[in-house]
Amino acid sequence: MEHQTLELTKSASSESLNKRWLLITSVVIGAAYGLSVRLLAAFRWEILQVMSVGFLFFMPFALGCIAVYIVEIKQPQKTITWIWLPLLPMLAALGGTVLTLLEGWICVVMFLPIAIPLAIVGGTIGGIAARYVRSRRAQSLAMVCIVMLPFLTGPWEKHAFYEWETRQVENIVDIQAPPELVWRNIERVPAIRTEELPRSWAHSIGFPDPIEATLSHEGVGGVRNATFAKDLSFLETVDVWESDHRLGFTIAANNVPPTTLDEHVKIGGQYFDVLRGEYRLEPLPNGATRLHLSSRHRLSTDFNWYAHLWTDAVMSDLQKRILYVIQQRCQAQAAGKR
């Protein structure tokens, strides 16, 4: 009896070890697939680019499918495994792109809301294919097609999905100070101390802090030099000057170091640019001022419907931080004059 019990224990231990190695193999192969597809995309071939439906949508789907299929075909798993297992190779592949400097954290964070659900869907399809499709030939053909999915949209997707659009974002804050005082704090923005800036989710994933905005001369044609951390700067040419009421300017990237922002979110790059900004001051009956800050930006991708969620949010976050600094400065100055 003791001998039989020992044999059962050894058998269970061996089965557990085999299952563990099977899962590890699945994660390694899935991660290798994702990282390999990203490396191939670095060559900028027409059939595969990073900023494409093929890569951003089909790659995580295929990765999840591969990871689950590998384990399910060898040893049936609990269906919950189809959900959590694809996340491991996906996160490993994304970690690899950061370590190899193929991607920055900004792009990884923006990619995750797409990658996670699609990897899970892929994992579910992989599990179903392995468990319920009886023909090994049909299984193999299906998996080959899925593995190739990221490469199949490149030649035609731009013609079908590419869109160039201009978007506008506006933020508003009420300031307990008169318009003329607020105006003095927006035509030029003296250097902002780090402690003046509120916390920011966009900054936490890598977007630089605003520093200051200088002005060459007052009136239309004046040039504001807006500087940010990490040597990022913009030239803002004034095209609307209505003292104490409106200040508008076109925006052109002046200095965008390659190490400041990932190439896929680079301002003035192929996919995104900031075009114009405007302050509008609205006097309130109680002597306060309602300050509007709006901006226009260009977005040009094959998936603007998703990308605009991020660009709008980032621009809004930046504008809120600037408005907060102006609000606090103006109200402190107004209180000091009383």
CA-closest candidate to residue 214, choices 254, 242, 174: 254
pLDDT value of residue 226: 96
- Same-domain check for residues 114 and 223: no
Picking from 124, 155, 186, the residue at the C-terminal end of a domain is: 155
Q: Check whether residue 25 and residue 142 sit in a common domain.
A: yes
Q: Over the stretch 96-107, which tens digit does the pLDDT of each residue have?
A: 998 988 888 888
Q: What is the pLDDT of residues 199-222, one digit of tens each?
A: 999 998 888 999 999 999 999 999
Domain assignment of residue 210, given as a range: 162-337
Collapsing DSSP to helix, strand or coil, 170 comes out as strand
| Residue where a domain stops, chosen among 125, 155, 185 | 155
Q: Which of 77, 78, 62 is nearest to 29 (CA)?
A: 62
Summarised one tens digit per residue, pLDDT across range 29-72 is 999 999 999 999 888 777 888 899 999 999 999 999 999 999 98
Q: Do residues 140 and 176 both lie within one domain?
A: no
Q: How many independent structural domains does the chain possess?
A: 2
| Chain-centre distance for alpha carbon 291 | 28
Residue 74: the pLDDT is 85
Tens digit of each residue's pLDDT (9 = 90 or more) over 228-283: 999 999 999 999 999 999 999 999 998 888 776 777 788 888 899 999 999 999 99
User: Which residue is listed with tokens 């990765």?
Assistant: 63
Whether residues 94 and 58 fall in one domain: yes
The whole-angstrom separation of Cα 276 and Cα 237 is 9
pLDDT value of residue 10? 47
Burial 25-36 (b: 16+ CB within 10 A, else e): ebbebbbbbbbe
Say whether both 141 and 181 belong to one domain.
no
Token look-up 């300050």 returns 291
Please answer whether residues 295 and 276 qualify as being in contact, where contact means their C-beta atoms are separated by less than 8 angstroms.
yes
**66 shares a domain with 167:** no
Residues 201 and 249 placed together within one structural domain of the fold: yes
HSE value, Cβ hemisphere, 13 Å, CA-based, for 264: 22
Residue 151 sits in the same domain as residue 166: no
Q: Residue 260 contacts by C-beta under 8 Å, 6 or more apart in sequence?
A: 208, 230, 231, 232
- The pair of three-digit structure tokens given for residue 65, joined into one six-digit string: 């499918």
Model pLDDT, residue 17: 56
Give the pLDDT of residue 337.
65
Judged against a pLDDT cut of 60, whether residue 333 lies above it is answered with yes
pLDDT, position 85: 94
Q: Give the separation between CA 135 and CA 142, rounded to whole angstroms.
A: 11
Compute the CA torsion angle 53, 122, 87, 262 (nearest 10 deg). Answer: -10
pLDDT band for position 8 (cuts 50, 70, 90): very low
Asked whether residue 16 falls in the same domain as residue 118, the answer is yes
Q: Which of 155, 177, 211 is the last residue of a domain?
A: 155
Residue in this structure with the two tokens 């680019």, named with its chain if needed? 49
Provide the 3-class DSSP secondary structure of residue 12: helix
201 and 137 together in one domain: no
Asked whether residue 6 carries a pLDDT value surpassing 80, the answer given is no
Count of Cβ atoms closer than 10 Å to residue 174 Cβ: 13
In CATH, what number is assigned to the domain containing residue 242? 3.30.530.20
Whether residue 166 sits in one domain with residue 150: no
Q: Do 329 and 293 meet the contact criterion of CB atoms below 8 Å apart?
A: no
